[in-house]
Structure 1
Amino acid sequence: MGGLDRVQRPQVLLGYDASEDNDPALRWAVEEARLRGLSLVMCHCWHWPYAADHMDDRVEAIIKRAGEMLLEQGEARARRLGAPGTVGKRLRSGPVPDALVGESGEAELIVIGSHERHRLPVGSTAVQLPARARRPVLAVRRCGGEHGRVVAGVDGSAGGEAALGFAVEEAALRGWSLRVVFGAWEPGAVDEAELPLFSDKERLAQVRTAALEKAVAPWRERYPKVDLRASVVLDRPRETLLAAVEDADLLVVGDRGTRGLDPLFLGATSSAMLHHAPCTVAIVPAAP
């Protein structure tokens, strides 16, 4: 496993709630901190379950103390799993996405738990947080076993470039293979000048393959030990990615894609991956 050739922010930030869905996220966050040589910070959010005009200081103190105890137990478990250095604990009130965005200034990445695919509520943190965070967000799911494989989806956008860089680094750190795929059949997302390509599939494949090879070439040079394969598929990005990740541990995609949607929302493909990919999904924002 190789180190990274750039300076990182000092923390891995974990959204922690001690639930069954959250335990794989804890394991992943500990491993990220260990491999990257960063500290782990665990953030738990408490909320007042009643109307705001029914506040009770004694009950609030009990709720806060329960959150503190939960974090103490989480810290102990993180240490048993091998968390390096000091484990930070943050107890915050309010919605989880708000708290994690607020705590992410020193975070290299944010790790959260996720419901299994097809069971992800529209308002869940795994859906809301990646649209707002300016750091990569990993929504961790249980996988059937380690396959040692990362898949990255690229599309020529700035978000796709950032996703590729994050995926290469993850593969390098973990000693996993990397498959980079470009689902090229997306005529609704290209400039009008490129529309004639979709009447000539051979030419479309040539143009997109050249663009893909240009994108991966610098990463091959920087991380020559990574087993990196890149391919263009003449299918829609969603279908291309879902086919590629059936035996993957991690899928990495950009947050918006080529359409440049409203910043309050994820792109259609990244949102679909959160709902349907069977593995852990990393949503990576474009560099500012």
Structure 2
Amino acid sequence: MSRTITVGLDGSPESRAAAEWAAREAQLRGLPLKLVQVWEPMPEPVALAQILGAETRQYWTERFPRESAEGLRQRHPGLDVTTEQLTGRPAEALTRAAQDAELLVLGSRGLSGIGGFLVGSVGLAVVASTDHPVVLVRAGAQATDEHKTDAAGIPSTATPFHPVVLGLDIGEPDETLIGFAFDAAARRKAPLRVVHGWNPPPYFAYGMPLDAGTHQSLAQGDATALTRVLRPWREKFPDVEVVEESHFGSPATLLIDASREASLVVVGRRIRRAAIGVHVGPFTHAVLHHATAPVAVVPHD
């Protein structure tokens, strides 16, 4: 695997935002940036109709990637930017590209009036198929969105980053997921906000009352378990400020709420090697569609 930050670029506003985010991430990690454009061959009858003129095709296959790379180099001095064009179905080509990168970045389109974002079939297929982390960036995302406001109440890249937010299931904590979140927070010199949502055991849904004392006991038990899971990571990353949050309620809802003041949201996806079809899980699916910050999906066993 080559150590690059790779971004899928197709000219859309969301892919341009993803490219800018990927450039900033590449600089944080001290890695080169690769712009990948996927050219999907047309069916022969369409190709014969010559709907796409030669000049238009030349622009999208040659000039656009080159101009995009040049613009990123100018806006991010010192960044090593390369381009690559792949042929085939976008989801399959981008999944292969993810396997050869440290991180793949894709765009997600905003849904006006709905308050969420659209992760299309290509993005979902890539997230569900690759064994490497994928970051989804919404259209219109700005570098200043990731930072706190200054004394005048204006966000600025000169101010500290908003926290990195990690959604964590303490019943099955994974080291790859936790390590990714701590590393992201350390690189940004940002706090790590670990959000865990819990609900009473299933038997409380069948008539057993949940009194205040039992609720408090369950809450304390989950909070203690969260502290225990994070203790060795606090020791490994002593400079990272960690904020632990264990709340009663839907984990997805809690994480979506936390995303409003986050520089990055980190969630996991269990790898299903024998499964058929696209699987990202209802929790990750909800966060991908409704989080307002970039979302990193980290696959794990």
Q: Give the TM-score, by structure 2 length.
A: 0.79
Cα distance in 2 for residues equivalent to 1:273 and 1:15: 21
Q: In the alignment, which residue of structure 1 is the partner of 2:292?
A: 278
Indicate the structure (1 or 2) with the bigger Cα radius of gyration.
2
Deviations 1:84-104 (A, max 9, x none): 454221111233221111122
The answer to whether the Cα contact below 8 Å between 2:17 and 2:107 also exists between their aligned partners in 1 is yes
1:158 deviation in Å? Answer: 5.2
Report how many residues are paired: 272
Provide the rounded CA distance (Å) in 1 between the counterparts of 2:70 and 2:28: 19
Structural mapping, 1:109-128, within 5 Å: 109-116=103-110, 118=114, 120-121=117-118, 123-128=120-125
TM-score where L is the length of structure 1: 0.82
Q: Are 1:153 and 2:153 matched, yes or no?
A: no
Matches within 5 A, 1:81-160: 81-82=75-76, 84=78, 86-116=80-110, 118=114, 120-121=117-118, 123-141=120-138, 142=141, 145=145, 146-147=147-148, 148=161, 149-156=163-170
Alignment partner, residue 66 of structure 2: 72
CA contact (8 A) 2:5 2:103 kept: yes
Higher relative contact order (CA 8 A, sep 6+): 1
Specify whether residues 176 and 133 from structure 1 end up closer, same or farther in structure 2 by C-alpha distance, changes over 3 A only: same
Q: Are 2:6 and 1:13 equivalent residues in the alignment?
A: yes
Query: Is this contact kept in 1: 2:196–2:245, CA < 8 A?
Result: yes
Q: Which of 269, 274, 280 is the aligned partner of 1:255? A: 269
**Contact 1:164–1:180 at 8 Å: present in 2 too?**
no
CA contact (8 A) 2:135 2:294 kept: yes
Q: Pairwise mapping of residues 186-265 of structure 1 onto structure 2 (< 5 A)?
A: 187=201, 199=210, 200-256=214-270, 264-265=278-279
State the distance in 2 between where 1:165 and 1:238 align: 21
**1:2-36 superposed Cα distances (whole Å, 9 cap, x missing partner):** xxxxxx95111111123222222111111111111
Q: 1:95–1:279: structure 2 CA closer, same or farther, 3 Å change rule?
A: same
Stretches of 4+ aligned residues off by more than 6 angstroms: 260-263
Which consecutive residues of structure 1, in runs of 5 or more, have no partner in the other structure? 1-7
RMSD: 3.2
Equivalent residue number for residue 45 of structure 1: 38
- Tell me how far apart the structure 2 counterparts of residues 79 and 45 of structure 1 sit (CA, whole Å): 21
Question: 1:107, 1:80 → 2: CA distance?
Answer: 23
Identity %, equivalent residues: 30
